[in-house]
Chains A and B, each alone.
Chain A
Amino acid sequence: MNGLTFHRKIEENTGLLIFGILFVSAIGGLVQLLPVLTQESLETASANTRPYSAVELTGRDIYMRENCVVCHSQQIRPLVAEVERYGPYSRAGEFVYDRPFLWGSKRTGPDLHRIGGKYSDDWHRLHLLDPRAVVPNSIMPAYPWLEERQASETGNITNKLTVLRRLGHPYTDEQIANAEADLEGLTEMDALIVYLQMLGTGFSEEDAAMEGGSH
């Protein structure tokens, strides 16, 4: 049986065609995804990386809701210019508590992976309320409604931490019990700023030294 007569069989059989497509298209995915999904080093946290606190997680969910990720990456590539501009390049171990990842694919604005601690809380507040007050040529939108909403309105924080614990994030019973109290009195703006200020702080010099310290 030569190739063409074999193919004629597929061409004339619906079931074979469906199976053939499924089989052939699955190969690449299996070879790439299975090793990555079972690679332990990709699931091992960097020394200073810990699960998000109730307030940070709420801030992160607001970051997702407003879709900041379509204009801001959180991924510093190991290139001289990027490290100079943004700080130490991003390590896989810094993202093990990121569900989903927020690396982004577009920098209309700058990378934010190591934005934490670079500006004051007041700067962020002013910038989010009126970007052009602090960056004259900015094309970023303003987010006035964040001041008007309470962080507790963003979603059920107790449920969120419980779900994340089920997914393997090491939250204690105490953290979960106190989660609602942690958000009390905070606006969405406060929570978002807390999140921005912790971004990139999961990296430590020890991690760099462990890698061989060539940088």
Chain B
Amino acid sequence: MEAAENKIYQDKIVIRLIQFSVVWAVLAISAGVYIAAELVWPTLDFGQYWLSYGRLRPVHTNGVIFGFGVSALMATGFYSVQRTSHVPLFAPRLAWFVCYAWQLIVLLGALSLLAGWNTTKEYAELEWPFDIAIAIVWICFGVVFFGTIAQRKIKPIYISNWFYGALIIVIAMLHVVNSLALPVSIDKSYSAYAGAQDAVVQWWYGHNAVGFLLTGGFLGMVYYFLPKIANRPIWSYRLSVVAFWAFVYAYIWAGPHHLHYNAIPEWVQSLGVIMSVILLAPSWATLVNGVMTVSTAWEKLRTDPALKFIVLSLAFYGLATFEGPMMAIRSVNVVSHFTDWTVGHVHSGALGWNAMITYGTFYFLVPRLAGRELYSTRLANIHFWLAFAGTMLYIIAMWAAGVSQGLLWLSIDGLGELSFDFKDIMASMTPYYLLRLIAGLVFLLGTVLMAYNLFMTLKGQRAVKVAPPAVDPAYGVNA
């Protein structure tokens, strides 16, 4: 019993996953910058199929979501589930398997996309051998995570674990249902669903991959690291309970807003609108909870770059979760659908929210794990402004591009004729695409600075050994 009490937290794996996450961030954002450049100078693929826009684009999205995003969620999930359970990770060997197998899937997956293996289902492009591997590794991730919770020494399961738990469970469900297909060969399969039915299944997946991975998973990060960094308890635990269940219930309905005016039943679209608008409530409940938690710690914003990133990420979270429901309304969607506005919306979430909360968390975690101060606070502060400027430039460029496209495409003159030729509208996008490219470069530069800063902080250091503290008897499992 005594020996078990003295076990130390598994933090080496946290460091390794953070390293992978940062490497994927640099690579995947670089791929994004490259395809942004191709939209300005279309011959940048030099006639090479593997540099072609269509093949690189899913490498960018998969690299960001599954390389950078999921590695960060695994790292922070493993870190926080140990601290909130007061026990080291359950089945540490299995955890290491999850860590490396996942990186292998992302790496080989990216190569397979370049080779042209592609289901074309957005954010589920990888072919069936990868789908099976993902399902297996994901279940192992769940075993490690829930196994740790099951062994916990603290009676209540802390709120951050619910969000990480929802990430694991719901993504597993979405992935399995959406990936059902009959294989033709190792690199090719045909979907179990066809046409309109396939579309509804795919966007049930596509929307909720965003919902439970990029929103829910990262909210888990907020609920653990925001109170830690601000050194304040969460403002309202009760609000977080209500927001959690409302979020899990409501998000899943919103997928059909990706198919407005498409050939699917109208009731499905209408339901999608209503639930998307309702979703604003649980999304902003968490926002309120987060902002109120930092509200008595504003002075730390002047000195702590980690907190700066996290507070700004909450602002972009609020913006994106407001913009989303608005874009789900049919009369707005009629303009925004198929345009760069959607791309801007996704990036206000991905850059402003997901990347910034992760960057902030890494700036907080890495010095603690390495047992010394951050290599350069000054570099981190420069990174903060580069990230902020890059994100703002990006979404402004895409708003301008998207709203113009939407309105010009639909514009009809007094004689009932189309006012503009598609080609002319497309050609007029160049300045916006150039601005977006610059925005991406600025954001990438900041990310590279962070990679260097974290590398120097970790250099030559080993993970600090931390043992679980004593449990307050009032909250112990036997209480």
Find B249's partner among A22, A27, A131, A164 (CB 8 Å cutoff).
A27
Interface centre among A25, A81, A107, A138 (most CB of B within 10 A): A25
B86 contacts the other chain (Cβ, under 8 Å)?
A: no
Given A77-B261, A105-B258, are A142 and B193 also a contact pair (CB < 8 Å)? no
Are A25 and B422 closer than 8 Å at their CB atoms?
no
In the complex, the chain B residue whose C-beta lies closest to that of A144 is: B47
What are the interface flags for B391-424 relative to A under an 8 Å C-beta threshold, 1 for contact and 0 otherwise? 0000000000000010001111000011000111
A12 contacts the other chain (Cβ, under 8 Å)?
A: yes
Given A17-B162, A29-B252, A70-B57, are A164 and B47 also a contact pair (CB < 8 Å)? no
Are A14 and B169 closer than 8 Å at their CB atoms?
no
Given A14-B149, A98-B194, are A36 and B422 also a contact pair (CB < 8 Å)? no
Residues of A within 8 A of B119 (CB): 64, 100
Interface residues of A in 62-85 (CB under 8 A from B): 64-71, 73, 75, 77-82, 84-85
Residues of B within 8 A of A92 (CB): 195-196, 263-264
In the complex, the chain B residue whose C-beta lies closest to that of A166 is: B182
Residues of B within 8 A of A164 (CB): 190
Interface centre among A67, A132, A167 (most CB of B within 10 A): A67
Are B195 and A24 closer than 8 Å at their CB atoms?
no
Report the minimal beta-carbon distance from A2 to chain B, rounded to whole angstroms. 12
B55 contacts the other chain (Cβ, under 8 Å)?
A: yes
A106, B192: Cα distance in complex, Å: 24
Q: Which of B38-46, B363-371, B458-466 contacts A (4 or more CB under 8 A)?
A: B38-46
A171 contacts the other chain (Cβ, under 8 Å)?
A: no
A28, B278: Cα distance in complex, Å: 13
Are A91 and B204 closer than 8 Å at their CB atoms?
no
A27, B246: Cα distance in complex, Å: 12
Residues of A within 8 A of B250 (CB): 28
Interface residues of B in 121-144 (CB under 8 A from A): 121-122
Find A37's partner among B53, B146, B197 (CB 8 Å cutoff).
B197
A82, B262: Cα distance in complex, Å: 12
A137 contacts the other chain (Cβ, under 8 Å)?
A: yes
A143, B193: Cα distance in complex, Å: 30
Are B42 and A139 closer than 8 Å at their CB atoms?
yes
What are the interface flags for B32-70 relative to A under an 8 Å C-beta threshold, 1 for contact and 0 otherwise? 000000111011010101001111011000000000000
B253 contacts the other chain (Cβ, under 8 Å)?
A: yes
B268 contacts the other chain (Cβ, under 8 Å)?
A: yes
Are B157 and A14 closer than 8 Å at their CB atoms?
yes
Report the minimal beta-carbon distance from A115 to chain B, rounded to whole angstroms. 12
Are B165 and A99 closer than 8 Å at their CB atoms?
no
Are B197 and A36 closer than 8 Å at their CB atoms?
yes
Residues of B within 8 A of A187 (CB): none
Report the minimal beta-carbon distance from A66 to chain B, rounded to whole angstroms. 5
Are A67 and B185 closer than 8 Å at their CB atoms?
no
In the complex, the chain A residue whose C-beta lies closest to that of B55 is: A67
A124 contacts the other chain (Cβ, under 8 Å)?
A: no
Report the minimal beta-carbon distance from B52 to chain A, rounded to whole angstroms. 5
Are A24 and B248 closer than 8 Å at their CB atoms?
yes
B427 contacts the other chain (Cβ, under 8 Å)?
A: yes
Report the minimal beta-carbon distance from A56 to chain B, rounded to whole angstroms. 14
What are the interface flags for B223-237 relative to A under an 8 Å C-beta threshold, 1 for contact and 0 otherwise? 000000000000000
A170 contacts the other chain (Cβ, under 8 Å)?
A: no
In the complex, the chain A residue whose C-beta lies closest to that of B254 is: A28
Find A66's partner among B43, B55, B202 (CB 8 Å cutoff).
B55
A117 contacts the other chain (Cβ, under 8 Å)?
A: no
Residues of A within 8 A of B53 (CB): 67, 70-71, 141
B120 contacts the other chain (Cβ, under 8 Å)?
A: yes
Report the minimal beta-carbon distance from A86 to chain B, rounded to whole angstroms. 9
What are the interface flags for B254-266 relative to A under an 8 Å C-beta threshold, 1 for contact and 0 otherwise? 0110111111110
Are B409 and A66 closer than 8 Å at their CB atoms?
no
Residues of B within 8 A of A32 (CB): 200, 204, 253, 255-256, 268, 271
Report the minimal beta-carbon distance from B353 to chain A, rounded to whole angstroms. 20
Q: Which of B98-106, B281-289, B320-328, B338-346 contacts A (4 or more CB under 8 A)?
A: B338-346
Given A18-B169, A21-B170, A25-B170, are A145 and B49 also a contact pair (CB < 8 Å)? yes
A48 contacts the other chain (Cβ, under 8 Å)?
A: no
A210 contacts the other chain (Cβ, under 8 Å)?
A: no
Find A107's partner among B52, B187, B202, B339 (CB 8 Å cutoff).
B339
Report the minimal beta-carbon distance from B65 to chain A, rounded to whole angstroms. 15
A39, B250: Cα distance in complex, Å: 24
Find B45's partner among A21, A108, A141 (CB 8 Å cutoff).
A141
Are B338 and A79 closer than 8 Å at their CB atoms?
no
Residues of A within 8 A of B185 (CB): 155-156, 159
Are A106 and B342 closer than 8 Å at their CB atoms?
yes
A102 contacts the other chain (Cβ, under 8 Å)?
A: yes
B97 contacts the other chain (Cβ, under 8 Å)?
A: no
Residues of A within 8 A of B444 (CB): none
Are B258 and A99 closer than 8 Å at their CB atoms?
no
Residues of B within 8 A of A166 (CB): 182
Are A42 and B196 closer than 8 Å at their CB atoms?
yes
Interface residues of A in 161-196 (CB under 8 A from B): 163-164, 166-167
Residues of B within 8 A of A25 (CB): 166, 169-170, 173, 212, 248-249, 251-252
B116 contacts the other chain (Cβ, under 8 Å)?
A: yes
List 8 A-B pairs, Cβ < 8 Å: A18-B146, A36-B200, A64-B120, A106-B338, A131-B42, A141-B52, A167-B182, A167-B190
List the 5 shortest-distance A-B pairs measured between CB atoms, nearest first: A95-B195, A67-B54, A28-B252, A137-B427, A77-B261
Residues of chain B at the chain A interface (Cβ within 8 Å): 38-40, 42-43, 45, 47, 49, 52-55, 57-58, 116-122, 146, 149-150, 155-157, 162, 165-166, 169-170, 173, 177, 182-185, 187-188, 190-202, 204, 212, 238, 241, 245, 248-253, 255-256, 258-265, 268, 271, 275, 334, 337-340, 342-343, 405, 409-412, 417-418, 422-424, 426-427
